[in-house]
Structure 1
Amino acid sequence: MTKLREQLIQIQKSNYRKNVKLVRESLGYEAGVARYRKEYLHYLEDYEAISNKTDLIGKASAADVIFHGDYHTLAQSQRSVLRILRELLGKREIVLCLEMFHGSDQKHVDRFMSGELSENAFLDKIDYAKKWPFYWSNWSAIISLCRDNKIPILGINSEINDAKGIRSLRERDAYSAQIISKAFLRNPGKLIYVVDGDLHISPNHLPRNVAQLLALLDEPVKLFIIFQNAETLYWKLCSEGLEEADVLRISENMYCVMNTMPANKIQSYLNWLEYSQDAYFPVHKDWDGNDFEERGAMVHKMVTTLASIFKLELPSDALEKLTIHYPNDLDFMERLYGTPELKGQLRLVRDKIKREEGFLLEYEQSGENKYLIYLANSNINMAAEESCHFLNAVLRGPLKTPLSPLDYFYRNVITECLGFFGSKFLNEKRKAQTENSIRRFLGKVKRGELKGADQETIQVARYILQHFYMQRKTNEAAEFIKKFGPQYKSRSVISRMFSTQLGYMLGNKLYYAVKRGKFSMHRIQEIFRDPFDKPMKAFACYLEVSERVKVVKHVSRL
């Protein structure tokens, strides 16, 4: 194990232990629930092999009933469900069973799915906020996919008013099993896809109830279980140097998808407690405390953590020159308009806010360099990326001279590369697009499978593939200018997305190269400090890093 890997794992374990302690303080202890959880963990002590998406989808498409575990406060958990459902479209007819809806509300679910009820009317009729107090936005894409593809949805949750602890959990499983079993019997040949809480999908919980009910009717059924982000397996992978694995085969009919790190998973619950959004900010012990100060302290911690990992020394007063703003900071726009040094960036700011993107602004005021971070939400990736941008901006200093369009474009690419690269050290499971994933995306667009795809995204995808083709063909700047000159000159959204995605993809590969000792930390330090204010320097750096990391294999998006 390299020293860097060991350092990263220790940081992850420290954050995880801290978050688990906070959760225990929040929830208290209930013996029955602890026993129910222990029964679940029994199946997650070991795994048979590292697997992949293709194998998982193949097994899933051959099943009769799928049980997909969900960690309700983690957006990545719901995205995993969405991605697998998309992969199964066209392979099987599907009936989706969701814990988020109660069986007693099925008539309202049916009316909503048929278009008879609006979204707001539906949520009001089922008393969504009370019965399922998790973010509707995390589920809306799944619901839309089902409506667009005529996939029926069944609610499987219930209100167990008198039962508590393990009795409540087991009675809930028994109720859900009846609905799932009826769905299986009434829809011969269709795939019954169940999304339920992590603990419920343990083989000895809900799946066993379903199997027992169908066995009474002499109905054979092939069950398949998809766990997500089992902490026990993640730490085992770390000990084996295999923590980059995305899919594990636990047994013939049980797999585990790994799409976030344990500390981030638990943190999403802590932030749900404080009505945040899948974030990295600590739970508030005092609801009347200064929210901005606590959030700012967490960004400061990210900056100092990254500086420590990269062995970069910040000026002692650097963090004092940084202000951090959020959407609920009502005087943010007034401050921008009242700062003459920022007026030239207002168009960029408005566009970023509209697209719910984070950003860093650098400006000079009264002879001092100042920095402003805006976080559109409290997502860990965004906070980590902008923290790394700040670290980079302080070390390289302000740009003193104008740059050519080519130099400006590739300076942005390097900036985005470092931002993504740094964010991976705080969330290794963050994924970037790959050349193959972009080819698959454009293939689906061409076949008419993604009719709602954003035209800007499609154009950027084409530019990226053309750029990679040019990289294989030549390293002459004149050839790149001939091909991409208009994009280099443009300050449009498409041009910015183009440079950002090139940077993300390079940063993703760079992370794995550094982690595996294939790219020196000394060179990383040089890139962080380089202002890239000389002609052709950023372009040359991009080509150099691209060439050095091109053979690095990394995890693809599930």
Structure 2
Amino acid sequence: MRGPDAIERSHRKLFLALQKELRYLESAKASSIRAYERAFKRSLPARSTTTTKAALVSRAKGAEVILVGDFHPFRQSQKGFLRLLKEVRGRSARPSAIALECIQQEFQTHVDYYLQGLITAEELREETAFEDNWPFPWENYRELLEYAKAEKIPVVPLNIPGRGAPGELKARDEAAAQRIAEVAAESPKLQIFTLYGELHLAAPHLPASLRSRIKKRVLIVHQNETQLYWSAPRLKNGDRPEVLRLREDEYCVLNAVPWMKLRAFLDWAEGSQEDDWDDSSDINGPVAHFAALLAEALLLEAPALDRIETRGPDELEEGGVFARSDRPLFAHARKYHRVSYLPAAQAVVVPTLSTNALTEAAALHLWARHNGGAQSQLGARLILQFMAGFLGSKLLNPKRKCNEEADMEAYLARLPREKRALDAKGRIFQRALGILKPLLHGKRSTAAPLDGGREIEALRLAGFVLGNRLSVSLRRSKSAARITQELFTSTVADPKVAAKLLNRIGAEIRAQSVAPSGKESGF
């Protein structure tokens, strides 16, 4: 098992391979875009300092306009914007508005109709000619609109016609700044959260246009800027920080590794967004690439993918004939949309083609080399399977998160005690916490097994938490590295062998006393 530097070298290899694929597309960029990009890169400081999510949220609370960078084809950009919006709104009583580049200003009335419930989201999509005016995935932005509607937050379109015309980038900055200034003047108490293309957030671009019109405080939040990621100072555990402070009113959130951003752009440019994949053979290439890099980081032999099938979403929907022992796992994968390995069928099922799902599938290909053809079993063996899948995915994408103990406990704490027995998610969380109790705390579990798919989901949650904890231990302990190799190379068809390995992993994690942050704590 290689150390953190070697794992990051795998990330760089992925990044460089994708960058090479993108060179032709990059060469086709308009000169105006290349100039805008150069100005953007020059505007970023050479040095940054590590800060915290709490510090960024506190700073955002005091700003009147928050400009958040959007890498349009990368869904994490839109999700990061929404998380920041929710965090600030949860700590401030100020009214807010959402300003979006993805819709043109002329469609303000249609946006208002949608927010008032007079038209549906699909009707809004049609009325605004969304695909004609904005070539990036509608679904990436729909979630923002749905949140605004549910929370009664006004939405302000910012874009103007003329894409590709001479000087249009500057014209769009000026038009967006003017519209934001008008809204700020009309409603001085509003806090305006703006999602706008990352290149426009260079100091001389949109921020300068905006500051020339208003005296209000403007906060700039970049997301996943590649040059900032590679130059960011390391944390004590070897990870890159999640939040950087660049200047007094300029920050950068790092909630994804750079290669994932390029992968999203390449998929979009090639017309292979998640919804467009239609054949399992399409996904074998990226899965094989991920598996080879993961094997290199773990000092393992790269798996031959032809030994184990990879079944994509279409095949999962169509169903199939499976051995009796595989049917519960298949039903669980189908119902909960989870990546899983079916031992009797020797197949990895991938119900969603996100990058996290594909990296998880790659890890399961590695793990299954020593566990193919065995009978499907609940208990320790299945926990190890899910642990290996998450751990491998986490090594390739160290920013990946899962529901940690604290997340599950917080969810249960919010439930009235009398409803816990009736809440399906709560019961699964209780069971998962019970499974983890002896492994993470050396205490006896009193949680009774659930039935069918709910038990498998609880085992998956427990496996993910253990994989998350082991990923942190890897940066601290050589013994954790050795036991990680055992996880991927041991045959655990025998329940006693599986239980013994699982208990040893639990002891290793307890010795390191690690409790990583969960989903609720980050961006």
Task: Write out per-residue CA displacement over residues 270-302 of structure 1, whole angstroms, 9 at most, x where no aligned residue.
Answer: 1012333369x9xxxxxxxx9654531322232
Query: Normalization by structure 2: what TM-score?
Result: 0.89
Please tell me whether residue 557 in structure 1 is matched to residue 522 in structure 2.
yes
1:58-69 to structure 2, matched below 5 A, reads 58-69=58-69
> Number of aligned pairs?
511
Instruction: Give the corresponding residue for 2:55.
Output: 55
CA distance in structure 2 between the partners assigned to 1:545 and 1:523 by the alignment: 8
Choose the corresponding residue for 1:355, options 316, 322, 336.
336
Instruction: Give the corresponding residue for 1:256.
Output: 252
**What is the CA distance between 1:129 and its match in structure 2?**
1.7
CA distance in structure 1 between the partners assigned to 2:170 and 2:246 by the alignment: 24
Report if the CA contact (8 A) 2:71-2:77 is conserved. yes
**What is the CA distance between 1:240 and its match in structure 2?**
8.2
**What is the CA distance between 1:455 and its match in structure 2?**
4.1
**What is the CA distance between 1:148 and its match in structure 2?**
1.4
Instruction: Give the corresponding residue for 1:377.
Output: 352
Report if the CA contact (8 A) 1:509-1:549 is conserved. no
Instruction: Give the corresponding residue for 2:487.
Output: 527
**Gapped runs of 5+ residues in structure 1?**
215-219, 282-289, 364-369
- Cα 1:73–1:381 change in 2 (3 A) is same
Matched residue SS, 2:369? helix
CA distance in structure 2 between the partners assigned to 1:9 and 1:469 by the alignment: 32
Choose the corresponding residue for 1:137, options 109, 122, 139.
139
Task: Write out per-residue CA displacement over residues 369-401 of structure 1, whole angstroms, 9 at most, x where no aligned residue.
Answer: x5212222321211111221222122245446x
Matched residue SS, 1:8? helix
The letter for the 2-side match of 1:223 is V
1:71-86 to structure 2, matched below 5 A, reads 71-86=71-86
Task: Write out per-residue CA displacement over residues 16-68 of structure 1, whole angstroms, 9 at most, x where no aligned residue.
Answer: 22322333312414332222112211232434421111111111111010001
- Cα 1:96–1:25 change in 2 (3 A) is same
Report if the CA contact (8 A) 1:67-1:224 is conserved. yes
Task: Write out per-residue CA displacement over residues 225-266 of structure 1, whole angstroms, 9 at most, x where no aligned residue.
Answer: 110011111111277885431011111111100011111101
- Cα 1:443–1:424 change in 2 (3 A) is same
1:137-536 to structure 2, matched below 5 A, reads 137-160=139-162, 163-164=165-166, 167-214=167-214, 220-237=215-232, 243-277=239-273, 292-313=280-301, 318-329=304-315, 333=318, 336-337=320-321, 342-363=323-344, 371-399=346-374, 408-443=378-413, 455-465=423-433, 474-475=442-443, 479-480=444-445, 483-487=446-450, 490-492=451-453, 494-532=454-492, 533-535=494-496, 536=499
Higher mean alpha-carbon deviation, 81-90 vs 142-151, is at 81-90
CA distance in structure 1 between the partners assigned to 2:486 and 2:385 by the alignment: 13
RMSD: 3.0
Report if the CA contact (8 A) 2:480-2:508 is conserved. no
Instruction: Give the corresponding residue for 1:22.
Output: 21
**What is the CA distance between 1:424 and its match in structure 2?**
1.5
The letter for the 1-side match of 2:452 is R
Report the identity percentage. 24
The letter for the 2-side match of 1:184 is A
The letter for the 2-side match of 1:411 is R
Report if the CA contact (8 A) 1:9-1:238 is conserved. no
Query: Normalization by structure 1: what TM-score?
Result: 0.83
Task: Write out per-residue CA displacement over residues 295-354 of structure 1, whole angstroms, 9 at most, x where no aligned residue.
Answer: 313222322322222222467xx5322222223459x847x22xxx53543454244224
Matched residue SS, 2:313? coil
The letter for the 2-side match of 1:304 is A
- Cα 1:102–1:442 change in 2 (3 A) is farther
- Cα 1:41–1:442 change in 2 (3 A) is farther
Choose the corresponding residue for 2:508, options 532, 542, 545.
545
- Cα 1:238–1:389 change in 2 (3 A) is farther
CA distance in structure 2 between the partners assigned to 1:457 and 1:500 by the alignment: 13
CA distance in structure 2 between the partners assigned to 1:269 and 1:4 by the alignment: 29
